[in-house]
Amino acid sequence: MDKTAAKNLAVLERLARSDRPIGVSEMARMMGIAKSNSHRILTTLVELNYARRSSQGTYTPTLRMWELGVLVLGRMDVKRLARPVIQALAKRTDETVHLTILDGAEIVYIDKIESSHPIREFTQIGAHAPAHCTATGKVLLAFRDVLPDMERLQVFTRHTIKEMHALKLELGRVRRQGYAYNFGEYGAYVNGVAAPIADHAGEIIASVVISGPAERLRPAALKAMMPLVVEAGQTISAELGFRGRLAG
């Protein structure tokens, strides 16, 4: 691995994830690098239009990363083909529908259709969430032959799965039934139900999920929506060329 390139990308990612501008000295402390290296990397990012420098000497990311991300997402068949299906699902249920993919031990939201309800789950496309305590994450983990590095499970609520043994049992159930629930495991007051999406080779590459406030999406309501979510997953899979039948 090219350590210089890795360090440059790590600084860019830290800059992108920060909710405020970062100065040279602070970036050096955050990344554990020399101040001169921090200055060199940030200056390079400015020259390449990935960052801008303020008059106070702090740095913020530009929209260059977003532009590249949009180009990548635009090429993803799953996002393009799933769009009308998740739109129809959102219209039918009037709940927020997400399309997600797996990135290591986290899920990434790559598309969403929001509910019209004033009280709903607020997420951002491109945002990450832990896989072990979200319905969509459990679906994506369940169909993997090898789990990503998840030695220590982070606990968010009293309902979060805390031990690998319990998680593996849960993933086995998800694999058999073909869908997953989340009852306040990540956000204490957010519930959801998710189903897998397979590509033409039968590999699970994405997941579709309905999620929202637990006050409205009680267990009975989610169980009633489960067949609709599973159907959406099967429809998108068929659009991707999958000719088999998903689990469950």
Q: What is the CATH number of the domain that holds 184?
A: 3.30.450.40
40 with 130, same domain? no
Helix (H, G, I), strand (E, B) or coil at 169: helix
Q: What is the pTM of this model?
A: 0.72
The verdict on residue 165 lying in a domain is: yes
CA distance 204 to 139: 9
181 with 228, same domain? yes
Q: How many percent of the chain have pLDDT more than 90? A: 70
pLDDT digits (tens, 9 = 90+) for 1-15: 678 888 889 999 999
- Count how many domains the chain has: 2
104 with 206, same domain? yes
45 with 96, same domain? no
pLDDT digits (tens, 9 = 90+) for 46-59: 999 999 999 999 99
90 with 61, same domain? no
CA distance 16 to 182: 29
103 with 217, same domain? yes
User: What's the pLDDT score for residue 76?
Assistant: 64
95 with 52, same domain? no
Residue 71 has pLDDT above 90, yes or no: no
Question: In 48-151, which residue ranges form alpha helices assigned H by DSSP?
Answer: 64-75, 77-93, 135-142
109 with 211, same domain? yes
User: What's the pLDDT score for residue 53?
Assistant: 94
Cα distances (angstroms) measured from residue 58 to each of 24, 26, 48, 51, 128: 7, 9, 17, 10, 26
Residue 19 has pLDDT above 90, yes or no: no
Domain boundary among 66, 101, 117: 66
User: What's the pLDDT score for residue 219?
Assistant: 93
The residue segments making up the domain with residue 114 are 76-239
234 with 121, same domain? yes
CB 90 within 8 A of CB 82: no
Cα torsion angle, 53, 56, 59, 63, sign: negative
CA distance 151 to 144: 16
CATH number at residue 39: 1.10.10.10
- According to DSSP, the residues that pair with 128 across neighbouring strands are 108
pLDDT digits (tens, 9 = 90+) for 206-238: 999 999 998 999 999 999 999 999 999 999 999
Residue 202 has pLDDT above 90, yes or no: no
Residue 157 has pLDDT above 90, yes or no: yes
